[in-house]
Structure 1
Amino acid sequence: MIADLHIETKLRDGCTHLKKVYATPPFKIADVREDKRDKTLQLMMMSSSPGILDGDEYRIKIDLEEGCALDLQTQSYQRIFNMQGCALQQVEVHTSKGVSFQYLPHPSAPHEKSDFTAKNKIYLANNCRLIWGEVLTCGRKLNGEVFLFTKYHNLTEIFLNGKLIIKENLLMQPKQIDVSSIGQLEGYTHQASLIYLDEKAGNRQLKENINSFLADQTNIQYGFTEAPKNGIIIRILGQKGEQLHSCLKAIAGLINTKNMAYA
C-alpha cells in the first residue's frame, strides 16, 4: 500500500498552526496541544494500520514556514511485520528560517523476516533548531524474537542551506553480521540516537547536564559526538525500548529548558 502524509504549518500571532494537511489511509493527524497559547504546535501522527506490512510505501513530507515550531509525535511503537518482500518509508522535512522541529518517534520493532528501509532528508535554513531521534529494538524480545529480522536500514541526511552536514547510515542485517560481537552491540539489544542542532545555543553546559542525567540511568551505555555545526549527536545502548525512548524525551526536555534560558 502506498500512503502519503503532507503537513504544512504557518505562524499566526506568534503561535504555530496547522496550515494544511493531506493524509491518505492509514495516516491520521491530531492536534494534541493542550494549551492553545503554547507557541509550539504539537501534532500526533496516528495510523489505522497495525504496523508496516509487506510492500508498504510510506511517503511523509513536512513544510515549516519561517519562525514555526513543531513537535511531531507518534501514537505507539512502529511494528514492522514479517515479509516476503520489503517495505519503504520516506520522510522529507523542509524548513524556513528560525524554525524549531522536534521528532522523537516511539521505538521501531522489526518482526522476524521483516525487511525495512527508511530514508530521511531534512533541509534546514539559517537559525533553525532540530531535535531528531530514533530507537531501534531487537524485535519482539518477550516472544523470543531477538534479531530475527532480515534487514533494517535507516538513512538520515541533514542539509544546511543545501549543503550536506550530517549523514547517519544505520544498516543491520543480523544473518550477515553478529550484532553481539565486539564493535557491534556487544550484548545490548536496543539502541537509540538523538541529533540536536541549533546555531544559537551553546552546548558545553547542556552536554554536562545530559551526561549527568544519563550517568544516573541503569543498564545503558552512551556516548557523545560533536556535530559539524553547533550541536551534538548522542548514542545510547540498552535493553529496553521504553527506557531509551524515555531517555530521549528527557534529553529533549533538558534541551528545551536550556533554550528557554536563551530566549
Structure 2
Amino acid sequence: MPRTTGRVSAAFLEAGGETRLGDRYHAYPLKIAKAFPFDDGQLGVYVMDASPGIMSGDRYELDWHFGENTKVYVTNQSYTKVHPVLRSADGSLADQASVQRQTLTLARGSVVEYMPEPLMLYKDAYFYSETEVRMEPGSVLILSETVCPGRTQRGELFQYGLYRSELKVTFGSELIFCAKQRVEPSSPTQKLDAIGAWGPFTHYGALYVFSEQVDAGFADRVRDYLNRLLGVDEETAVPFSGMKLYSGVSRTYKYGLVVSVMGFKVYEIQQLLEAIWKFIRRTYFVDTDIQIRK
C-alpha cells in the first residue's frame, strides 16, 4: 500500500486588530476546512482529515506560523484515529508505523490555543507523534492532548502496538520543556497498571500553558480552582466530584505548567480540561469565552 503524506502549512497575521489567515498550503487528506472570526479579533481554524484516519505508514506534517500579536484557536473536526499497522510477509513492521510531526512558531505577542480532539489508537496501531514549539518573548501557548487506549466499546484496551510521543518547547533560544513518552503495552518490561504508570486508569489528558506569566502564584491559583471543581475538602457536591478522575498541576522548568488528568471516560477528562482552559484564558489572557461547535 502506498504511503500518504498529508500536509498543512499556514501563516497568520494581524491587521487592524483582527487576525487573518495569510499564506496557506494543504495536501490530501489534510486541509484547513474553515476559518472563522470571534468577537475579540481572534481567529478560529478547523483542520479536516478527509480520510478514515491515519493509515499504516501515513505521515502527517503540520507547520503553523503565528505572526506578531495574532490570536488563533486551532482544532480539528474529529478524533485522530490511528489504524492498525501493516506487516510484511515475515511479520516485520517494514517501517510502516504512522507518523505525525507538528511545528508551531509563535512570534512576539501572539496568543495561540491549540486544542485538538482526542487521539484514538486502534488495535495493532504504531504511532509516532512529534511536536516542536518555538516561542518568542511575549507569546502565549495553551495546548491540550487526550489519549484513548483504543475502541473500548469493541473491547480494545491497550491493544495498540506502540505509542511514542515527544513535545519540545523553546522560548527564545532556551529549551524550557521536553517530554518524551513511549508506551508499548505488550512489552514485558512495561507494567501499565503499576503505580507511576496508568494504575487502574485507562484514559489520559493534559493541558499545557506556556507564558512568561506562569509562575508559582499562577500554578497555585490553577491548582486551587481544580480542587474546587473536584470538590476537594468541600462538603457540597460540585460538577466533577462524582467522577473518577485523578489529576494534578505541576510547573515546568520555566514559563509553563501542566494540568494532568487520568480517568476512565474521555468525555469526563475533556470536560474537566475545558473548565480549566476557560478559567485560565478568562483570568489571564482573553476577557471573553468562546463557543466551539462541531
Q: Name the CA distance, whole Å, in 2 between partners of 1:182 and 1:239.
A: 16
Deviating more after overlay: 143-152 vs 38-47: 38-47
1:46 to 48, 60, 69: 48
CA–CA distance in structure 1, aligned partners of residues 195 and 258 of structure 2:
22
1:144-155 correspondence runs (5 A): 144-155=155-166
Which ranges of structure 1 fall in alignment gaps of 5 or more residues? none
1:66 and 2:79 are equivalent in the alignment: no
For residues 71-130 of structure 1, what are the alpha-carbon distances to aligned partners after superposition, in whole Å with 9 as ceiling and x for unaligned?
101111111101122111100011110111111211111011110000000000001111
Which of 214, 225, 243 is the matching residue for 1:209? Answer: 225
**Residue 169 of structure 2: aligned partner:** 158
Q: Percent identity?
A: 22
8 Å Cα contact 2:130-2:165 kept in structure 1: yes
State the one-letter code of the partner of 2:26. A
Aligned to 1:236: 261
Q: 1:95–1:123: 8 Å Cα contact kept in structure 2?
A: yes
Asked if the contact 1:106/1:245 (under 8 Å) is kept, the reply is no
Give 1:94's match in structure 2, choosing from 102, 105, 110.
105
Q: Tell me how far apart the structure 2 counterparts of residues 260 and 168 of structure 1 sit (CA, whole Å).
A: 25
| Contact preservation (8 Å) 1:104, 1:248 | no
SS at match of 1:6: strand
Please state how far the C-alpha of 1:139 moved relative to its aligned partner: 0.3
Corresponding residue of 2:28: 25
Equivalent in 261, 265, 271 of residue 246 of structure 1 = 271
Segments ≥4 residues shifted beyond 3 Å: 260-263
Q: Which amino acid aligns with 1:184?
A: A
CA change 1:92–1:34 in 2 (3 A) is: closer
* Residue 261 of structure 1, CA deviation: 7.7
Q: 1:11: which partner in 2?
A: 14
**Unaligned runs of at least 5 residues, structure 2:** 87-95, 232-237, 289-294
Structure 2 counterparts to residues 119-158 of structure 1, below 5 A: 119-158=130-169
Q: How many residues align?
A: 262
Whose radius of gyration is greater, 1 or 2? 2
Q: Secondary structure at the match of 2:36?
A: coil
Q: How is 1:104-115 mapped onto 2 (pairs within 5 angstroms)? A: 104-115=115-126
> Which residue does the alignment assign to 1:196?
209
- TM-score, normalization: structure 2? 0.84
TM-score by length of 1: 0.94
Determine if contact 1:206/1:258 at 8 Å carries over to the other structure: no
Q: How many angstroms apart in 2 are the aligned matches of 1:87 and 1:144? A: 22
Q: 2-side partners of 1:74 and 1:163: how far apart?
A: 30
Match of 1:205, SS?
helix
